[in-house]
Structure 1
Amino acid sequence: MPKTSIIPEGTGKPLAPYVPGSMANDVLYVSGTLPFDKDNNVVHVGDAEAQTRHVLEAIKGVVEAANGTMDDVTFNMIMVTDWDNYDAVNKVYAEYFPGEKPARYCIKCGLVKPDALVEIASIAHVGK
């Protein structure tokens, strides 16, 4: 099965051996996305809403680089470091998925950098 790496213009160097997105058979897999700038510094420290918006904008960039839209997202995996941020994450999340909602799950866990409050990975079906 052939696959294509999806790396939007301006993407910073990943912290580990991965690409922002990988496309196979019209299915786009978006790597876990953290609230990092292009130099892998955490942005909007302490602000779960702003971090969530930053993460979803980055995911949107990967989806659009694969010629899709956020309406093509069918599944999201959400990781938060504190349940106290759950409502803030959901508030912003709802802005990006106003219509038909994707399936998802949310877990509480530690993230790669302590100041990161949220990480999201996605799957989108980007048709031809």
Structure 2
Amino acid sequence: MTRKIRITSPHVAEAAPGLWSNCLVVDDSVYFSGLTSRANDGETIHGDDSYEQGKAIFSKMKHLIEAAGGEMDDIVTLTVYVTDMKHNQGVWKARREFFTGDFPACALVGVAALAKPEILVEIQGQARLKKAAGV
């Protein structure tokens, strides 16, 4: 029987009920919503460039994957949304600080806008847990 479990972390603010989940585990698969560098207050944006925003987002992913019983190396695919293709260099720099070895498969998508004008980057991903997470 398939189980779907919402994963939370005190380091990552959840959306209001009825909107979305930041992270779900289904069997051994982990699904991340599009994460931004929005702070836990829901208003403040961490960083004013793509590198700082990327670091904040990957930090959120790290907290969530660890809460699910995994590690960053379990992340297998990412979709990175940027408001300007020149932001890719900052995101790639931040990504190298969180991943080693074989990096996740990845797509980079340019978009006209994200949820707020100061948000430059949004990242969505999927992971496969290496071991039973016990969640």
TM-score category (smaller protein): over 0.9
Q: Secondary structure at the match of 1:96?
A: coil
Indicate the residue corresponding to 2:95 in structure 1.
93
* Amino acid in structure 1 at the alignment position of 2:12: T
Distance 1:58 1:10 in 2: 7
Segments of 4+ moved more than 4 angstroms: none
Unaligned runs of 5+ in 2: none
Indicate the residue corresponding to 1:114 in structure 2.
117
Indicate the residue corresponding to 2:30 in structure 1.
28
Q: Secondary structure at the match of 1:124?
A: strand
Distance 1:13 1:62 in 2: 11
* Amino acid in structure 2 at the alignment position of 1:80: V
TM-score relative to the length of structure 2 = 0.88
Distance 2:12 2:97 in 1: 23
Q: How many residues align?
A: 128
Q: Deviations over 1:10-64 (max 9, x none)?
A: 4324167111111111100011100111111242352211110000000111100
Tell me if the contact between 1:45 and 1:115 (Cα under 8 Å) persists in the aligned partners.
Answer: no
TM-score relative to the length of structure 1 = 0.92
Calculate the aligned-residue CA RMSD, in Å. Answer: 1.5
| Identity across matched positions, percent | 28
Distance 1:112 1:98 in 2: 30
